[in-house]
Structure 1
């Protein structure tokens, strides 16, 4: 096996995907989000939705985290979770918000997947449903024993994460810089994950795994083509899964129908890199990751089921 050639090919794929697919989408989405923040639109949306979402344990800050993961990236809610931790938001509300974030599709994978045929509008609706299910299950079932003391329902966004900008151009430039950091920051883990997958494939590991799992997957009605992106996703995160699916698409192994059916299972931050990054938000956030993950699993299961049944 040509190890150096495999690494070089994986690195080239990672760079191309990050700079030519992920970066342009993130620049546009981040610019829209930052302009909406500067115009006060997010404040208005938060005030409108907070009373509606209060019964499932979500607060004003939770809504900001929801928008961040849906329209910026999986790492964007770190600042909001850190703010909630710092403001003393109760463990119960904090775990609920964390679970919601883990159960929802992250923008840095969702929008580039449009190139693979993903129906983004439908996906976002199902993602929101999954997030609300995760929040409900965490607040009322898995996290009901947690403390509810603190500024839970009254917590609002103070825009600690938004830098002051003097004009539209400054906002766009700042958003572009942030998008570039997100895109380039994904290159190492994506290159490593793609290298591992390519090495396993070259050594016959994927063929062996497909043979081993063929019968069980057939019994369960699960597509065997999910094996490669699933390994990539849970080892290297959602962007790594995107890279694996892009390779499958280039080889004509998958189509738009597969992308839509698989998105609920593959596109969310509940993986090793996602947990590692999101738990840096604070000590309490790190302590609550198990409960949040269990709650998020309920939302992801619902999303995956809907996607498998009704994938376009």
Structure 2
């Protein structure tokens, strides 16, 4: 019992530190920037120009906005857009394609801080776009082809405050800060539970045993077994927790810059237990299409992984 309490306390401390001292500052800055661009109408104009280009991939104007959010704000930022799509009559097929794209893309709350570890953000962003489009298209035309394509009374207007004065700008920043704090605090429970599981596996030797079992198979596939811990952490505890593990490994010299960038394709995305749980809570219809979206996301992540390994 004493060991369990110790694990819970350490996991709780790590979860709070990751949420409040890593995730929150990045989200405050990026979310404020995005909300200011949104209030100035810059994002509206960008979405209008990009929407026709991305329509063949099964994406709508709101889908374009979700792509900007996941790449430049955080894994939870597209929740608002997915909720809007759910409520405004977007077809199930388009929602599934958008959700698959979000699952497969690089999450800003992990990618941006990992630039300090040597991550090539430009390359990550390029393959995030390619993988996201592959995920959306495969879901729209293959895995989600049986979903309803019936559009309701579609309203793709991005309703948002307008910042035309100093007070308006300050209001936008304050709202963005409150939104960032809510998201960061909301991530703590799932992070604590996931980190408890990972820490327990490590403390009781299950991770060492798993490494010993998987090492021969990984070596046959030319995969470094050192990636087992960050991969296990990522898929159980999310990208933010993985970032913390990868930071410790980089400081200890266990992971090179080359290996960090080569593994970014499958380590940096919201396609994990916490990420999926958060995103599908955006709405009832969003939750009903998660299976075809998950299949499409696997295609997109595979494309990203191959791109990072080769290039």
Same fold by TM (over 0.5)?
yes
Runs of 4+ in 1 over 4 A off after TM superposition: 163-166
Asked whether the equivalents of residues 99 and 296 of structure 1 are also in contact (C-alpha less than 8 Å), the reply is yes
Asked whether the equivalents of residues 23 and 240 of structure 2 are also in contact (C-alpha less than 8 Å), the reply is no
Equivalent position of 2:215 in the other structure: 214
Equivalent position of 2:156 in the other structure: 156
Q: Measured at CA, do residues 53 and 299 of structure 1 come closer, stay the same or move farther in structure 2, by a change above 3 Å?
A: same
Provide the C-alpha distance between the structure 2 equivalents of 1:14 and 1:87, rounded to a whole number of angstroms: 35
Asked whether the equivalents of residues 190 and 240 of structure 1 are also in contact (C-alpha less than 8 Å), the reply is yes
Equivalent position of 2:269 in the other structure: 268
What is the CA-CA distance between 1:164 and the residue it aligns to?
A: 5.9
**Pairs aligned (count):** 307
Asked whether the equivalents of residues 18 and 183 of structure 1 are also in contact (C-alpha less than 8 Å), the reply is yes
What is the CA-CA distance between 1:2 and the residue it aligns to?
A: 4.1
SS in 1 for 2:101: helix
Provide the C-alpha distance between the structure 2 equivalents of 1:227 and 1:151, rounded to a whole number of angstroms: 45
Provide the C-alpha distance between the structure 2 equivalents of 1:18 and 1:215, rounded to a whole number of angstroms: 36
What is the CA-CA distance between 1:62 and the residue it aligns to?
A: 0.6
Q: Does 1:300 align with 2:305?
A: no
Write out per-residue CA displacement over residues 4-33 of structure 1, whole angstroms, 9 at most, x where no aligned residue: 444333333333333333222212111110
Equivalent position of 2:29 in the other structure: 28
Q: Measured at CA, do residues 4 and 252 of structure 1 come closer, stay the same or move farther in structure 2, by a change above 3 Å?
A: farther
Equivalent position of 1:86 in the other structure: 87
Asked whether the equivalents of residues 72 and 108 of structure 2 are also in contact (C-alpha less than 8 Å), the reply is yes
Equivalent position of 1:98 in the other structure: 99
Segment drifting more, 277-286 vs 241-250: 241-250
Q: Does 1:249 align with 2:250?
A: yes
Provide the C-alpha distance between the structure 1 equivalents of 2:192 and 2:258, rounded to a whole number of angstroms: 26
Asked whether the equivalents of residues 22 and 108 of structure 1 are also in contact (C-alpha less than 8 Å), the reply is yes
Where do 1:1-312 residues align within 5 Å?
Answer: 2-150=3-151, 156-159=156-159, 162-163=160-161, 166-310=167-311
SS in 2 for 1:21: helix
Provide the C-alpha distance between the structure 1 equivalents of 2:121 and 2:75, rounded to a whole number of angstroms: 16
Instruction: Report the TM-score, using the length of structure 2 for normalisation.
Output: 0.91
Segment drifting more, 162-171 vs 107-116: 162-171
Q: Measured at CA, do residues 63 and 57 of structure 1 come closer, stay the same or move farther in structure 2, by a change above 3 Å?
A: same
Provide the C-alpha distance between the structure 2 equivalents of 1:258 and 1:194, rounded to a whole number of angstroms: 24
Provide the C-alpha distance between the structure 1 equivalents of 2:271 and 2:189, rounded to a whole number of angstroms: 19
Write out per-residue CA displacement over residues 255-300 of structure 1, whole angstroms, 9 at most, x where no aligned residue: 3222211111011121222222212222221111100110111000
SS in 1 for 2:270: coil
Provide the C-alpha distance between the structure 2 equivalents of 1:89 and 1:21, rounded to a whole number of angstroms: 34
Instruction: Report the TM-score, using the length of structure 1 for normalisation.
Output: 0.91
Write out per-residue CA displacement over residues 86-115 of structure 1, whole angstroms, 9 at most, x where no aligned residue: 122112111111111111111111112122
C-alpha RMSD over aligned residues: 2.0
Provide the C-alpha distance between the structure 1 equivalents of 2:155 and 2:138, rounded to a whole number of angstroms: 21
Asked whether the equivalents of residues 238 and 267 of structure 1 are also in contact (C-alpha less than 8 Å), the reply is yes
Write out per-residue CA displacement over residues 188-207 of structure 1, whole angstroms, 9 at most, x where no aligned residue: 33333333322222222111
SS in 1 for 2:278: helix
